[in-house]
Amino acid sequence: MNIGQAAAFSGVSAKMIRYYEKTGLIPRATRSEAGYRNYTVQDANSLRFIRRSRDLGWTVKQISELLLLWRDRERPSGDIKKAALFYVADLEKKITVLQALAHTLHTLANSCHGNNRPDCPIIEGLADFGMETSASSRGRRTAEPSS
């Protein structure tokens, strides 16, 4: 199949297919006499695997490792489970960080009066690079520039 057909079959854009070839996730396609890329069903299935893995948030490097496991029919399933659980732990760490960020932003937004006055705890909080919590920015005003 040509690149357009492989893209339609796998749900991966032609641009991404070329990228995956360049990065080595899939082997370089053979070329027709006219220079068009030719893909096998196995290539298209690999592209589907990559797309689904990307949908789940795996990085290109992680997908490369998963592809090796997927292609190795002799591998123990424990290797795949270990990789998945490691990724879940990483996701849970990111979720914790994102929840803390959301909490901080909610706190800053709740402390802002949202009126016509220029002082704003949100801006003050963002400008305070050492800020651990929004409580440290309450009541603080930004310094006036000296003339």
State the CATH number of the domain containing residue 51.
1.10.1660.10
**Which residues make Cβ contacts (< 8 Å) with residue 30, sequence separation at least 6?**
37, 38
Residue 66 domain-assigned (yes or no): no
Mean pLDDT of the region 127-140: 52
Residue 67 has pLDDT above 80, yes or no: yes
Q: Considering 58, 88, 103, which residue would you say is the last residue of a domain?
A: 58
Are 79 and 42 contacting, i.e. CB atoms less than 8 angstroms apart? Answer: no
Residue 41 domain-assigned (yes or no): yes
Residue 35 domain-assigned (yes or no): yes
Please give the residue range of the domain that contains residue 47.
3-58
Long-range contacts of 6-11 (CB under 8 A, 24+ apart): 6/37, 6/39, 6/43, 6/44, 6/47, 9/44, 9/47, 9/48, 10/44, 10/45, 10/47, 10/48, 10/50, 10/51, 11/47, 11/48, 11/51
For residue 93 the two structure tokens come to 């760490």
* Residue 88 confidence class, pLDDT cut points 50, 70, 90: very high
User: Residue 83: how many CB atoms within 10 A of its CB?
Assistant: 15
Residue 132 has pLDDT above 70, yes or no: no
How many structural domains compose the chain? Answer: 2
- Residue-level pLDDT at 140: 42
* Residue 147 confidence class, pLDDT cut points 50, 70, 90: very low
